[in-house]
């Protein structure tokens, strides 16, 4: 996303998906190759666009244990101790908007909650 940050504070939730080459900590991700990961990301975005509730999809698919057990959003500020690419995307999203970013943890489908 090329635009500048739209806020200095955001609350976001994310769906983390990985593959054997990226974030293989979760058995689902460890068993997935890169093409399967790309197909899953595309299918997940289509579900969200079709109206699936983000929290439901997050609970079903996310490989981030914190996100699925707590359900709490991440507080994001410019100085937050988060992966820079994740933080940068979160601060560029408008409320309700969804974006995708790849980090060394995997693919993050991020939704700004507030």
Task: Output the pLDDT for position 68.
Answer: 81
Q: Give the residue ranges of DSSP H helices in 62-99.
A: 65-70, 84-92
Give SS3 for 16. Answer: strand
pLDDT in tens, 60-94: 999 998 888 888 899 999 999 999 999 999 999 99
Task: Output the pLDDT for position 58.
Answer: 95
pLDDT in tens, 38-65: 999 999 999 999 999 999 999 999 999 8
Assess whether pLDDT exceeds 90 at residue 3.
no
Distances (CA, A) of 44 to 74, 77, 94: 20, 27, 20
pTM value surpassing 0.85: yes
Distances (CA, A) of 31 to 21, 26, 35, 110: 10, 9, 12, 23
Specify the CATH number for 10-112; select among 1.20.840.10, 3.10.50.40, 3.30.70.360, 3.30.1360.30: 3.10.50.40
Percent of the chain whose pLDDT exceeds 70: 97
Structure tokens given for 74: 């991440």
């Amino acid at each position: 996303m090329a635009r500048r940050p739209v806020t200095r504070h955001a609350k976001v939730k994310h769906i983390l998906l990985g593959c054997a080459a990226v974030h293989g900590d979760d058995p689902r991700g460890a068993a997935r190759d890169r093409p399967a990961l790309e197909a899953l990301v595309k299918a997940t975005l289509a579900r969200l666009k079709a109206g699936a509730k983000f929290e439901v999809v997050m609970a079903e698919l996310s490989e981030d244990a914190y996100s699925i057990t707590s359900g709490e959003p991440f507080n994001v500020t410019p100085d937050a101790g988060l992966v820079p690419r994740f933080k940068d995307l979160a601060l560029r999203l408008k409320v309700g908007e969804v974006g995708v970013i790849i980090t060394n943890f995997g693919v993050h489908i991020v939704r700004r909650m507030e």
